[in-house]
Amino acid sequence: MLKIGPYEFQSRLLLGTGKYPDLEVQKQAVEVSGAEILTFAVRRMNIFEPNQPNFLENLDLT
């Protein structure tokens, strides 16, 4: 178990979301890993371009 402030995580694995060939592979890697903490390279994300895929929109934040 990992505790950071008031948050408790079952997995201590932190997973980077970069370097995947596409969003589907990225999503599969996150699901298979069991990681509860993800890192993002904000500079690489184009969150203001509505026509571009956005990984953050597909996350289950529960």
- pLDDT tens digits, one per residue of 12-40: 999 998 888 988 898 899 999 999 999 98
Residue 53 is predicted with a pLDDT of 73
Total domains present in the chain? 1
Confidence of residue 52 (pLDDT cuts 50, 70, 90): confident
pLDDT at 13: 95
* Segments forming the whole domain that contains residue 28: 2-58
Higher pLDDT, 43 or 33: 33
Closest CA to 20 of 3, 33, 36, 7: 33
Comparing 47 with 2, the larger pLDDT belongs to 2
Residues 38 and 42: their CA atoms lie apart, in Å, by 12
Q: Within 13 Å, how many C-alpha atoms sit on residue 11's CB side?
A: 12
CA 23 to chain centre: 11
